[in-house]
């Protein structure tokens, strides 16, 4: 067979006569030439089925009256049906570019699609729900019966396995009618049957169940917008039923069973873990969102912490590894029990080991960057506990963070943040000593000074970066926690004296930038205060909200800088004289620092002080501020 002949293009008919126009046709002639818009292929008759039959065209030329042509409402470019109906606000015609026939066809399709969507969105009746549950129950019982009779012959129960798979997938529409379906799921005992399948020998069945639970507990399952409260109550009933049947424990057990080298198993892990995404919420996250207290019970009653710590240690990075890190950060956010379990599971050592790979390399993409940030956030959250601070010190965490600060990698900023959390509070005193001994002061003050720029020194009008805030926090912790007259404290003070007080000047530049930001914020708050006074008046809650805005608008940075300046001025006469001279050039003085510290003092909690490493109460922040204010006030009075 000659392939070329089959696909050979037929030649044009010979002797075709072409109608030619003059080189310069007149407008009158053009008006008389109108192509018949109805010219189409001639219909094939039953007899004309020859493969070589050629389509024929009809074209006609007719005389058209000029008045009739100008008034013909049906004429439009391309036969556009709406050319003269569709126009913009300025009266220009555009049309849709479609003929009447084409628009009619599209309307038919739109109506058909609307009917399909309407059918899909139909709410299930209680009878239909019970029928689905009965089908599922029969499929479960049949499969169990077949497996018990022929445990060594899969060919005898393979059909029942397929039926069970279909029955599980058949329950997915229940998520569209949570108000009716979920209470019936629990009342009928179907939840117990469903959860029992999480121990099924066939992992495909287990994955089906995981996906079903994922869909049923997803927030998008609540589609009955008119009955939101009932829908939420139905969701809570289902989640309580799942928890009572040990669903969380079985899900954690299945994490170890799933083989993530297989695509289906990897998706199963995704549905268990996948969290905090615009398009989905994982089962764990769904449960915790409905009942925050489940976070502690999940960690204490299951091995999820072990699995998460093992999963983040795997060298190859994928999305499930990222989800494991994100779930870990959620567990450690505000649950003290979870932080203690994290420490008992050697979590600090694990995190430092995984983070060490980012000392000399950056993450390869945005997903790995998010993974790294979640690990740093987990460490920061855990460091609020004294026991974690001790474990961090024992694992040489300060040394690793200082090494990361020296490198010009993305981990540099995060390591500064971790050190800020680690050194804070009375329990961070030992870490402050270690930080100085590990030569962290040089790296810290290099980060404070930044790269020397070509602009003038005082050009720091931009808002302070997050790094500056954490660097100031570290310096503040060093001055608070290091013992008076100790060698480590003296080394800190010396850093401010060297190079003709350049670090003090840097602090004053940061102070100026913060003060300018605060002035702008105060002007905005003043307008809002006036509006509030005219409406509802200024309540204590409103005043607290304004104070929080001031903190974000530069007050927090200003308070931290003035707290540091107060300490170093008390420690060294040369620093004090330099500060007073430089403040005078800015038309400011000691009174401005005292004013800032007074506002700081008034808003600090009146507690008994943090507990140090030896669990003995120390001076509270309020007591320290009171002492600094008294000392500075005495100096200002003498001068």
Query: Has residue 380 been placed in a domain?
Result: yes
Tokens of 173: 């529409």
Give residue-wise pLDDT tens across range 398-413: 999 999 999 889 999 9
- Share the mean pLDDT of the chain: 79
Structural domain count, the chain? 3
Does pLDDT of 635 surpass 80?
no
Whether the CB-CB separation of 559 and 593 falls below 8 Å is answered with no
Residues 389 and 496 in one domain: no
Residues 430 and 519 in one domain: no
Residues 500 and 548 in one domain: yes
Query: Has residue 552 been placed in a domain?
Result: yes
- Helix/strand/coil percent split, the chain, to 5: 70, 0, 30
Query: Has residue 212 been placed in a domain?
Result: no
Give residue-wise pLDDT tens across range 126-172: 999 999 999 999 999 999 999 999 888 888 888 999 999 999 999 99
Range name among 166-180, 213-227, 302-316, 494-508 with the lowest pLDDT average: 213-227
Phi, psi of 252 (to 5 degrees): -65, -40
Query: Has residue 214 been placed in a domain?
Result: no
* Rounded-to-integer distance, Cα 321 and Cα 312, Å: 6
Residues 571 and 523 in one domain: yes
Residue 79: band (very low, low, confident or very high) from pLDDT cuts 50, 70, 90: low
Residues 442 and 536 in one domain: no
Residues 515 and 607 in one domain: yes
Does pLDDT of 348 surpass 70?
yes
Whether the CB-CB separation of 427 and 612 falls below 8 Å is answered with yes
Q: Where are the alpha helices (DSSP H) in 439-572?
A: 440-449, 466-481, 487-535, 540-550, 556-571
Question: Taking residues 371-395, what's their average pLDDT?
Answer: 96
Phi, psi of 84 (to 5 degrees): -90, -5
Residue 124: band (very low, low, confident or very high) from pLDDT cuts 50, 70, 90: confident
Query: Has residue 348 been placed in a domain?
Result: yes
Query: Has residue 34 been placed in a domain?
Result: yes
Phi, psi of 277 (to 5 degrees): -115, 145
Residues 434 and 555 in one domain: no
Give residue-wise pLDDT tens across range 477-513: 999 999 988 999 999 999 999 999 999 999 999 999 9
Percent of the chain with pLDDT over 70: 71
What per-residue confidence (pLDDT) applies to 533?
A: 79
Question: Taking residues 554-580, what's their average pLDDT?
Answer: 94
Q: Of 420, 448, 476, which residue constitutes the final position of a domain?
A: 448
Residues 512 and 617 in one domain: yes
Residues 530 and 401 in one domain: no
Residues 511 and 431 in one domain: no
Give residue-wise pLDDT tens across range 436-472: 999 999 999 999 998 654 444 444 434 447 899 999 9
Whether the CB-CB separation of 114 and 170 falls below 8 Å is answered with no
Does pLDDT of 9 surpass 80?
no
Query: Has residue 323 been placed in a domain?
Result: no
Whether the CB-CB separation of 286 and 218 falls below 8 Å is answered with yes
Does pLDDT of 13 surpass 50?
no
Q: By residue range, what is the domain housing residue 65?
A: 26-83
Residue 135, C-beta contacts closer than 8 angstroms, at least 6 positions apart: 167, 170
User: In this predicted model, which residue has the larger pLDDT, 613 or 349?
Assistant: 349
Residues 409 and 523 in one domain: no
Residues 413 and 343 in one domain: yes
Query: Has residue 610 been placed in a domain?
Result: yes
């Amino acid at each position: 067979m000659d392939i070329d002949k089959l696909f050979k293009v037929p030649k044009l008919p010979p002797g075709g006569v072409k109608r030619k126009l003059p080189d310069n046709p007149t407008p009158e002639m053009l008006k008389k030439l109108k192509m018949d818009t109805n010219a189409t292929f001639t219909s094939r008759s039953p007899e004309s089925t020859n493969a070589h039959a050629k389509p024929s065209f009809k074209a006609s030329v007719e005389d058209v009256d000029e008045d009739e042509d100008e008034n013909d409402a049906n004429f439009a470019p391309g036969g556009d049906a709406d050319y003269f109906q569709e126009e913009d606000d300025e009266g220009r015609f555009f049309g849709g570019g479609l003929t009447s026939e084409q628009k009619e066809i599209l309307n038919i399709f739109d109506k058909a699609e609307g009917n399909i969507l309407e059918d899909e969105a139909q709410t299930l009746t209680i009878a239909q729900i019970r029928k689905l549950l009965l089908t599922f129950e029969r499929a479960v019982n049949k499969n169990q019966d077949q497996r018990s009779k022929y445990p060594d012959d899969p060919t005898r129960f393979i059909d029942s396995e397929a039926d069970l798979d279909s029955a599980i997938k058949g329950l997915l529409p229940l998520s569209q009618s949570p108000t009716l379906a979920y209470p019936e799921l629990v009342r009928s005992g179907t939840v117990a049957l469903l959860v029992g399948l999480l121990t099924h020998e066939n992992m495909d069945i287990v994955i089906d169940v995981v996906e079903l639970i994922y869909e049923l507990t997803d927030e998008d399952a609540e589609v009955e917008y008119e009955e939101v409260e009932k829908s939420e109550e139905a969701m809570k009933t289902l989640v309580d039923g799942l928890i009572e049947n040990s669903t969380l424990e079985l899900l954690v057990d299945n994490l170890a069973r799933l083989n993530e080298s297989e695509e289906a198993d990897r998706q199963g892990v995704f549905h268990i873990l996948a969290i905090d995404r615009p398009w989905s919420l994982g089962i764990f996250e769904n449960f915790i969102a409905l009942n925050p207290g489940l976070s502690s019970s999940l960690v204490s009653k299951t091995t999820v912490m072990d699995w998460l710590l093992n999963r983040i240690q795997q060298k190859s990075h994928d999305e499930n590894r990222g989800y494991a890190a994100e779930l870990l950060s959620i567990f450690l956010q505000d649950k003290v029990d979870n932080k203690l379990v994290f420490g008992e599971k050697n979590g600090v050592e694990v995190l430092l080991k995984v983070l060490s790979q980012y000392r000399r390399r950056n993450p390869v993409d945005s997903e790995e960057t998010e993974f790294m940030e979640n690990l740093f956030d987990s460490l920061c959250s855990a460091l609020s506990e004294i026991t974690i601070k001790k474990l961090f010190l024992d694992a040489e965490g300060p040394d690793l963070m200082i090494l990361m600060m020296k490198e010009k990698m993305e981990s540099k900023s995060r390591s500064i943040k971790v050190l800020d959390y680690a050194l804070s509070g009375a329990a961070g005193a030992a870490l402050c000593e270690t930080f100085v001994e590990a030569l962290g002061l040089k790296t810290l003050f290099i980060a404070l000074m930044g790269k020397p720029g070509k602009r003038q020194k005082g050009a720091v009008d931009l808002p302070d970066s997050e790094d500056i805030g954490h660097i100031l926090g570290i310096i503040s912790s060093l001055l608070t926690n290091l013992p008076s007259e100790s060698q480590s404290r003296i080394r800190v003070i010396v850093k401010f004296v060297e190079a003709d007080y350049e670090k003090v000047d840097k602090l004053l530049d940061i102070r100026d930038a913060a003060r300018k930001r605060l002035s702008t914020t105060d002007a905005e708050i003043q307008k809002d205060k006036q509006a509030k006074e005219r409406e509802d008046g200024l309540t204590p809650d409103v005043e607290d909200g304004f104070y929080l805005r001031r903190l974000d608008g530069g007050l927090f940075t200003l308070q931290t800088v003035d707290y540091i300046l107060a300490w170093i001025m008390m420690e060294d006469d040369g620093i004090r004289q330099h500060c007073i001279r430089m403040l005078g050039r800015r038309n400011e003085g000691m009174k401005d620092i005292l004013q800032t510290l007074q506002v700081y003092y008034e808003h600090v909690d009146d507690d008994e002080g943090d507990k140090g490493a030896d669990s003995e109460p120390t001076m509270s922040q309020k007591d320290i501020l009171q002492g600094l204010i008294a000392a500075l006030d005495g100096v200002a009075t003498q001068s």
